[in-house]
Amino acid sequence: MKRRLLLSTAVLGALSAAGTSQAADLTLCWAAWDPANALVELSKEFEAESGHTMSFEFVPWPNFADRMLNELNSGGQLCDLLIGDSQWIGGGAENGHYVKLNDFFEAEGISMDDFAPATVYAYSTWPKGTPNYYALPAMGDANAWFYRRDWFENEEIKAAYKEATGDDLREPQSQTELLQIAQFFQGREIDGQTRYGASIFTERGSEGITMGVTGALYTWGFKYENEPGSYDMEGAVNSPEAVEALEFYKELYETATPPGYSDSYMEQSLDAFKSGQVAMAMNWFAFFPGLYADPNTGGDNIGFFVNPPQNQAGSTLGGQGISVVSYSENRDAALEYIKWFAQPSVQATWWELGGYSAHNSVLNDPGFADSAPFAGDFLEAMNDVQDFWQEPAYAELLLAMQKRVHDYVVADQGTAQEALDKLIEDWTEVFEDEGKL
Amino acid sequence: MATPVKPIRRAKGLSDRAIAWVFVAPSIFLLLAVNIFPLIWTINLSFTDFKANRNRDVEYIGLRNYERILTDSDTWLTMQATAHFLFWTIFFQVLIGFALAFLINKKFRGNDLWTTIIVLPMMLSPAVVGNFWTFLYQPQIGLFNYMVTFFTGGDPSSFSMIGEVALAPWAIVIVDTWMWTPFVMLICLAGLRSIPGSIYEAAECDRASKWRQFWTITIPMVLPFLMLAVLFRGIENFKMFDLVVQLTGGGPGSTTEVTSINLKREAFEKWRTGYASAYAVILFVTVFGLASIYVKALNKVKDR
Amino acid sequence: MSFSVTEPSNSQKWIAGILVIGYALITILPLIWIIATGFKSPSDAIAYPPKVIFEPTLEGYVNLFTTRTRVTDETLAALGPPTTWYDAIVRQYDMIIAGPSRYGERFLNSVIIGFGSTFLSVFLGTIAAYAFSRFRVPLKDDLLFFILSTRMMPPIAVAIPIFLMFRQLGLNDTHLGMIMLYTAVNLSLSVWLLKGFIDEIPVEYEEAALIDGYTRFQAFYKVVLPQAATGIASTAIFCLIFAWNEYAFAVLLTSGTAQTAPPFIPTIIGVGGQDWPAVAAGATLFLVPVMVFTILLRKHLLRGITFGAVRK
């Protein structure tokens, strides 16, 4: 009896040893953008330490949601680890795509208290705010602005602005001031070329225009529901403030963007800025290290500012958590990666390489705000972020908003009030189908 | 491979009937598995509230999906966008395609090579080509605006083919016409070449003018071919997805959201599988119905 | 030369020639532009006004086949001078080559799936067409019509149940699944075209062979197949071109392992912005084989198109 027991434990031990020491080839899926390259760099350390090899599947943003949600819904095994967008968490959790990480966190001593609360709330939890974790905050992000500092500090341009508007040219302190500055630059000749006001998000196919327009909506005080969790949207989604904000965004689009800017998202915004077309541009913090490093429009020629407040401060949340895909055959190795990634030292390197760590040890470091010209703005923006619906039906909710907003802002159909009224109808229908209304 | 037939003189190896079945069965089986079974499944799903991205109980909801689709004003807008696209692509392709075939039939030197060059676009991947056309359509940097304003004057950045509501429907018509005019041209050419020269000779003896010959001989003789070309282009463009999705993605707003794009959004972005299945059935019935009516008309023309 | 009233006059030929050549030149302009853009530098590609004359570079092709990361000046200095011409191109932008891109894999997938499905659909199509042409198959006309009608369905509509079926069978994003699907889609065209070609072969040849003691099967592959060779070849070209160009199924049913080039090429982006030279390079490599094919095999191809269409 004793021998058998011994034997079986030996076999078990051998098995489990084989299980952990066996080198796996992990595939990590994310969007194709600057931070992804940084993550490849960072992961080399993991490969050296663990003996596992890492492969990467990076999908461009306009196709990212489409392809990855398709992959998850088809039960695909392409990705072991997925850095999925914040809004996918509800679906990922409820449809069983993501592995629930609570037990793992507990066993490995990873505490969610070590991460910035806004990021834990947005990237990890489902239902929202409950201690049920389906991801580890991987990349903090928000939508913000950058501008041509060299133009803003040019005496001639400053004088012209003063003359045209009576105000001093500076980083805009409100949405309306931003519009005024953008309109000032629109069509202006600078260094022999025609320049334009601002490049903003107007993309139709994925999430572009929604991410852009919510930047305005939140600062006007837009709310999704009258009472959180009530799905009662009448009077919130179509409040007079929301209508005003939507009209503002349309005016910004019509009077202060480069020609043909009807379908632009991250890349087009960057293109316009780097090619010297625009004075200001909106984009995610994720791109700011790359923008700052740009030999022509970076360095001293670029400045950054948080999405300016209007009635209140507010920024559109970006960013992602890292999850283990439940269809993966390399679950243990994938968890190992997350354990490695959560270490403060790795998180510090992550920020150095151009990733936005959400770890408190990085963010609360006294030197953080001065570690990059946009680091302080990042901390400020993350204080007032709001996110789109994170419901399991998020895709339907998003597509409805894409359509209604694009129809109004770009295709010039109907009024802002009608667009938002219709949006409530669409959303109500979705929640009714969900059995939540 | 079929079993090698032993050289015993059992008449002629496998019986004809057996060979017929062995030869036809794999095709039929594959088509049943990949076409018919899915079609039946789609019809079945169209009566449910199934969502392929959710693990929840599926309920039969009768005709509710159909009712929702047919009463939704957005459905009719996508139908309108599709109709606009269909009508004008066919109009231009028939016009230009027939003209080209007529000219090529004059058999000038080197017409063979030039015909091949004209045919090139229809051989290429619509998605890849469509994607590149978005570059050609860029205001300022794109070739298209530049060429247009080179001839008409004005500022190349003053308009945006895929960005403006008024122009976007034409942007997709232009690319589709560029791609598929050669198809109509080839069919017309086959029609023109099928006309025996003796008919014209007889007409010449009757001193019929060239103009009269064109209207009384050429057009009626080519008409069945032309109608056939219209049928194919009609079916193909009703299904149109890759080219338009790459060019405009349905935008701006929903101006160029043809039915296939709408269907894709419902089925693979919103994952309303049941709803999308009903939509698919409606589209199938529409194409099938229209095509059947058209084929009847075509046969009448042929019999004339 | 005998005078014929139907023979166009010389002046008519001239006018026709000029008009057709004019149209042909306009029609190939976008294609030439794709090829040219592949050899431009990124800044030349987005120059305003568009550049017709430019200094050719292989940057687009280097960017197409590699992934690159930006590094600091110190790292760059520590690396020493570039050892290869492609390294030198990348270094201009303070970047280094991090590894190969996915383009090669996607291209290979296109080749595997394209040729695999073409072989199968032509093989199955030939034997089915032979049976339809020579034997009394019950419900023949219905079957043929049914085979054709399956092509009326929009691909997205077909993709819904196929997606669910593939998910059940684990065929999503596999080469096998895509080959099966493309085979099924091409089969209708293949049967239809080949039946026409085989119908044209006189039955007497086989009857003679059968009298000589051939089995039905031997008569098929020793007599009928060689006669149908050109028909089979042009059918194969059509199937290959369809599979090569297909986008809708590929974008919905593949994500990585078995993804073909058409859904991939439009997603090539550079660091911060659409990398048009790389997109153009990818498109060129993908489109040029078909262009060359079309020009080389124009007789078969053009005959096949009209033949297939007019028969229907």
Residues β-bridged to residue A199: A281
Please report which confidence band the pLDDT of residue A10 belongs to, taking 50, 70 and 90 as the band edges: very low
Q: What is the pLDDT of residue B304?
A: 67
pTM: 0.88
pLDDT at C139 over 80: no
CA dihedral sign of residues B25, B29, B35, B41: positive
> A115 with A172, same domain?
no
- Coil/strand/helix, residue C30: helix
Q: How far apart are CA A389 and CA A279, in angstroms?
A: 32
Q: Please state which of the ranges A240-249, A267-276, A399-408, B120-129 shows the lowest mean pLDDT.
A: A267-276
> A177 with A305, same domain?
yes
| DSSP symbols for C34-59 | HHHHTTS-HHHHT-SSPPSS----SH
> A213 with A323, same domain?
no
Task: Please state the φ and ψ torsions of residue C199, each to the nearest 5 degrees.
Answer: -55, -30
pLDDT tens digits, one per residue of C201-238: 888 888 898 888 888 888 888 889 998 888 898 889 88
| Omega prior to A259 cis, within 30 of 0 | no
- Coil/strand/helix, residue B254: coil
Q: Are C82 and C91 in contact (CB under 8 A)?
A: yes
Terminal Cα-to-Cα distance of chain C (whole angstroms): 38
pLDDT at A175 over 80: yes
Q: Which of A344-348, B34-38, C156-160 has the highest mean pLDDT?
A: A344-348
Q: How many Cβ atoms are within 10 Å of C32's Cβ, its own excluded?
A: 10
Question: Which carries the bigger pLDDT value, residue A302 or residue A394?
Answer: A302
Among left, alpha and beta (phi > 0; psi -120 to 50; other), residue C178 is alpha
In angstroms and rounded to an integer, the radius of gyration of the C-alpha atoms of chain A is 23
Torsion of CA B116, B145, C32, B162, to 10 degrees: -80
**A380-413 b/e (C-beta count within 10 Å ≥ 16 → b):** bbbebbbbbbbbbbbbbbbbbbbbbbbbbbbbeb
User: Which residue in C98, C172, C273 is closest to A40 by CB distance?
Assistant: C98
Cβ-based contacts of C2 with chain B (< 8 Å): none
Cβ-based contacts of C240 with chain B (< 8 Å): none
Pick the residue of A37, A74, A146, A352 with the most C CBs within 10 A to test the interface with C by mutation.
Answer: A74
Q: Do A259 and B165 touch (CB under 8 A)?
A: no
Domain boundary among A297, A316, A335: A316
> A50 with A116, same domain?
yes
Q: Please state which of the ranges A192-206, A315-329, C59-73 shows the lowest mean pLDDT.
A: C59-73
Q: How far apart are CA A228 and CA B149, in angstroms?
A: 54
Q: Are C17 and B110 in contact (CB under 8 A)?
A: yes
Q: Do A259 and B249 touch (CB under 8 A)?
A: no
Whether A74 is in a domain gets the answer yes
Q: What is the pLDDT of residue C272?
A: 59
Q: Tell me if chain C has a CB within 8 Å of the CB of A62.
A: yes
Q: What is the pLDDT of residue A129?
A: 86
Among residues A132, A140, A65, A68, the alpha carbon closest in space to that of A99 is found at: A132
pLDDT tens digits, one per residue of C261-295: 999 998 887 665 678 999 999 999 999 988 888 88
Return mean pLDDT, chain C.
86
> A136 with A147, same domain?
no
pLDDT at C51 over 90: no
Whether A230 is in a domain gets the answer yes
- Coil/strand/helix, residue C201: coil
> A210 with A152, same domain?
yes
Q: What is the pLDDT of residue C278?
A: 93
> A170 with A135, same domain?
no
Among residues B166, B167, B160, B117, the alpha carbon closest in space to that of B136 is found at: B160
Q: How far apart are CA B176 and CA B186, in angstroms?
A: 16
Looking at residues A189-204, what average pLDDT do you find? 93
Q: How far apart are CA A76 and CA A96, in angstroms?
A: 13
Whether A193 is in a domain gets the answer yes
Whether A258 is in a domain gets the answer yes
Check which CATH number belongs to the domain holding A152 and give it: 3.40.190.10
> A184 with A137, same domain?
no
Question: Which carries the bigger pLDDT value, residue A77 or residue A377?
Answer: A377
- Range 295-314 of A in CB contact (< 8 A) with C: 295
Q: Which domain holds residue A50?
A: 25-141+318-386
Q: Tell me if chain C has a CB within 8 Å of the CB of A95.
A: no
* Beta-strand relationship, C66-70 and C95-100: antiparallel
Touching subunits of A (3+ CB pairs, under 8 Å) are: B, C
Cβ-based contacts of C267 with chain A (< 8 Å): 32, 59-60, 62-63
Q: What is the pLDDT of residue A43?
A: 93
- The token pair that represents A187 in the structure block: 């069509």
> A213 with A338, same domain?
no
- Range 69-88 of C in CB contact (< 8 A) with A: 69-70
Q: Are A410 and B252 in contact (CB under 8 A)?
A: yes
Q: Count of domains in chain A?
A: 2
Q: Are C291 and B123 in contact (CB under 8 A)?
A: yes
Q: What is the pLDDT of residue A16?
A: 43
Q: Cα–Cα distances in Å, from A428 out to A393, B264, B278, C294?
A: 12, 22, 21, 53
- Gap from C239 CA to chain B (nearest CA, Å): 12
Whether A63 is in a domain gets the answer yes
Among residues A305, A304, A308, A297, the alpha carbon closest in space to that of A272 is found at: A297
Q: Do A74 and C166 touch (CB under 8 A)?
A: yes
Whether A397 is in a domain gets the answer no
User: Which residue in C12, C183, C265 is closest to B128 by CB distance?
Assistant: C265
Low-confidence ranges of chain B (pLDDT < 50): 1-11
- Coil/strand/helix, residue A305: strand
Q: Do A74 and C257 touch (CB under 8 A)?
A: no
Q: What is the pLDDT of residue C297?
A: 82
- The token pair that represents A284 in the structure block: 């995610």
> A289 with A375, same domain?
no
Task: Please state the φ and ψ torsions of residue C97, each to the nearest 5 degrees.
Answer: -80, 120
> A331 with A270, same domain?
no
Whether A393 is in a domain gets the answer no
pLDDT at A13 over 70: no
Enumerate domains of chain B plus CATH numbers. Answer: 72-303 (1.10.3720.10)
Torsion of CA C237, C239, C241, C245, to 10 degrees: -170
Please tell me the total number of residues recorded for chain C in this structure: 312
Enumerate domains of chain C plus CATH numbers. Answer: 103-267 (1.10.3720.10)
pLDDT at C151 over 90: no
> A163 with A262, same domain?
yes
Pick the residue of B254, B261, B264, B272 with the most A CBs within 10 A to test the interface with A by mutation.
Answer: B254
Domain boundary among A283, A316, A349: A316
Residues β-bridged to residue A31: A59
Q: What is the pLDDT of residue A83?
A: 95
* Residue given tokens 């991410």 in the structure block: A211
Helices (H), chain B: 16-31, 37-45, 64-71, 73-104, 111-119, 126-136, 143-152, 168-193, 197-205, 210-213, 219-238, 242-247, 259-264, 273-303
- Gap from C271 CA to chain A (nearest CA, Å): 7
User: Which residue in B158, B252, B271 is closest to A406 by CB distance?
Assistant: B252
Question: Which carries the bigger pLDDT value, residue A175 or residue C100?
Answer: A175
Whether A424 is in a domain gets the answer no
Instruction: Determine the angle formed by the axes of helices B37-45 and C155-169, rounding to 10 degrees.
Output: 100
Pick the residue of A277, A403, A434 with the most B CBs within 10 A to test the interface with B by mutation.
Answer: A403
Which residue type, as a one-letter code, is found at position C259?
Q
pLDDT at C65 over 50: yes
Q: What is the pLDDT of residue B259?
A: 94
User: Which residue in B22, B118, B126 is closest to C24 by CB distance?
Assistant: B118
Domain boundary among A340, A357, A386: A386
Contacts of A392 (CB under 8 A, 6+ apart): A90, A91, A93, A94, A95, A434, B54
Cβ-based contacts of A274 with chain C (< 8 Å): 272-273
Residue C37 CB-half CA count within 13 A: 29
Which residue type, as a one-letter code, is found at position A13?
G
C212-218, long-range: CB < 8 A, 24+ apart: C214/B12, C215/B5, C215/B12, C215/B13, C215/B14, C216/B12, C216/B13, C216/B14, C216/B16, C216/B19, C217/B2, C217/B5, C217/B13, C217/B14, C217/B19, C218/B5, C218/B13
pLDDT tens digits, one per residue of B25-57: 898 888 888 888 888 999 999 999 998 888 778
Q: How many Cβ atoms are within 10 Å of C34's Cβ, its own excluded?
A: 25
- The token pair that represents A210 in the structure block: 């929604």
